[in-house]
């Protein structure tokens, strides 16, 4: 492929190939190569750092806007890495003509969400480009957090561990799609966009081995990454997946699979079997974890393989997202 295509930004297999073929090739080092959501840097006190850019259409959607998303995305990357999020940077690229009213609403959301997550915006940058050279507003946030004694990461995952998720899957993906040009439909589904650090503080116990937020590419892609990194196989139970009927209905309508839809306020948690029940009940006590569920387990199978048990007793593969996740029609 000679040019960047939309699929390169999908978070699926093509994105991974781009990362390996270009970024790791030229920039690889002991920190980057860990390929985690956030990287732990050495110093007097260990800190974790992560960065993320936000380009989304529409800017305002059911359950949030790009400002809220820009805080949640970065806070969540730190939180699932076992860090306590502390500081954010905020860089804006604005398109000429963006209504100040919209910008203010977005920044108010940044403030509210940062407050909710207990993080401070400590520096920022603004650039304006000519009309047509950006889509209204692009945001980059970099997050800095303090490292805790939470030892989490794919390397701790072992066969026998349980796979938990903190709530219903695919809500964000459907909320966004419902407002996409040409696809408009009215849905009761709200984006799940939320900072997860307080929830994680509540349910974390030693024995929680790995956490990830299944954003682009969805639960399927994230579990594939983890299974590869940990060299284990995983098995999901289809009927245990928490799924709003309205999300299922929208998926049926559009020919999409919930396992590949983005989430912005959910954590996948791999926990030792001995603590899984306790972690689950703590999740359920938190408003963001009401519909948490145990959805599968880690097995000693073919490394990298993610399988799913269907309700009728069959088994199938759950692969990574291939290219863009497009609604299919014909």
Contact residues toward other proteins (CB under 8 A) are: 1-7, 13-14, 168, 178, 182-189, 239, 244-246, 248-250, 252-255, 290-291, 302, 305, 307, 310-317, 319, 322-324, 326-330
CB of 158 to other proteins, least distance (A): 22
Q: Residue 265: which of 290, 248, 235 has the closest Cα?
A: 290
Which residue lies nearer to other proteins by CB, 132 or 245? Answer: 245
CB of 291 to other proteins, least distance (A): 7
Which residue lies nearer to other proteins by CB, 43 or 314? Answer: 314
Six-digit token string for 165: 């998720």
Which residue lies nearer to other proteins by CB, 66 or 292? Answer: 292
Strand ranges for 20-113 from DSSP E: 39-41, 47-54, 60-61, 64-65, 83-95
CB of 261 to other proteins, least distance (A): 14
Please check whether residue 297 is in contact with residue 160, taking contact to mean a CB–CB distance below 8 angstroms.
Answer: yes
Which residue lies nearer to other proteins by CB, 131 or 290? Answer: 290
Which residue lies nearer to other proteins by CB, 25 or 315? Answer: 315
CB of 94 to other proteins, least distance (A): 25
Six-digit token string for 69: 């998303």
Please check whether residue 260 is in contact with residue 221, taking contact to mean a CB–CB distance below 8 angstroms.
Answer: yes
Distance CA 107, CA 94 (A): 13
Distance CA 238, CA 15 (A): 26
Which residue lies nearer to other proteins by CB, 8 or 150? Answer: 8
Distance CA 98, CA 156 (A): 46
Which residue lies nearer to other proteins by CB, 39 or 178? Answer: 178
DSSP string, 259-272: GGS--SS--EEEE-
Strands across the sheet containing 162-165: 208-212, 268-271, 162-165, 293-299, 233-237, 306-309, 315-317
Six-digit token string for 275: 């603590």
Which residue lies nearer to other proteins by CB, 58 or 118? Answer: 58
CB of 96 to other proteins, least distance (A): 23
CB of 183 to other proteins, least distance (A): 6
Which residue lies nearer to other proteins by CB, 135 or 322? Answer: 322
Q: Which residues contact residue 55 at a Cβ distance below 8 angstroms, ignoring those fewer than 6 apart?
A: 135, 138
Six-digit token string for 236: 């999901």
CB of 221 to other proteins, least distance (A): 13
CB of 127 to other proteins, least distance (A): 25
Please check whether residue 32 is in contact with residue 224, taking contact to mean a CB–CB distance below 8 angstroms.
Answer: no
CB of 182 to other proteins, least distance (A): 5
Alpha helix locations (H) across 45-91?
66-80
């Amino acid at each position: 492929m000679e040019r960047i295509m939309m699929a390169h930004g999908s978070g699926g297999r093509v994105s991974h190939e781009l990362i390996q073929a270009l970024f790791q090739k030229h920039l690889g080092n002991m920190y980057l190569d860990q390929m985690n959501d956030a990287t732990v840097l050495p110093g007097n006190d260990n800190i974790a750092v992560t960065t993320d850019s936000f380009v989304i259409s529409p800017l305002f959607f059911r359950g949030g806007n790009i400002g809220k998303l820009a805080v949640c995305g970065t806070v969540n990357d730190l939180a699932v890495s076992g860090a306590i999020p502390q500081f954010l940077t905020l860089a804006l690229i604005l398109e000429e003509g963006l209504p100040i009213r919209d910008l203010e609403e977005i920044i108010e959301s940044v403030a509210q969400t940062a407050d909710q997550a207990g993080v401070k915006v400590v520096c920022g940058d603004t650039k304006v480009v000519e009309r047509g050279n950006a889509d209204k507003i692009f945001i980059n946030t970099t997050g800095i957090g303090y490292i805790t004694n939470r030892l989490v990461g794919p390397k701790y995952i072992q066969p026998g561990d349980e796979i938990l998720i903190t709530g219903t899957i695919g809500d964000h993906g459907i909320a966004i799609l419902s407002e996409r040009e040409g696809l408009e439909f009215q849905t009761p589904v709200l984006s799940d966009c939320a900072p997860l650090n307080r929830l994680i503080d509540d349910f974390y116990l030693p024995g929680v081995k790995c956490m990830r937020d299944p954003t682009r590419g969805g639960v399927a892609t994230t579990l594939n990454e983890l299974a590869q990194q940990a060299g284990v196989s995983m098995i999901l139970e289809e009927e245990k997946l928490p799924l709003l009927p309205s999300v299922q209905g929208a998926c049926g309508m559009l020919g999409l699979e919930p396992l590949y839809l983005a989430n912005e306020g959910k954590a996948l948690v791999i926990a030792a079997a001995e603590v899984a029940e306790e972690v689950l009940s703590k999740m359920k006590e938190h408003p963001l974890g009401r519909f948490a569920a145990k959805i599968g387990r880690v097995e000693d199978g073919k490394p990298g393989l993610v399988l799913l048990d269907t309700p009728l007793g069959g088994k199938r593969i759950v692969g990574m997202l291939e290219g863009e996740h497009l609604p299919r029609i014909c």
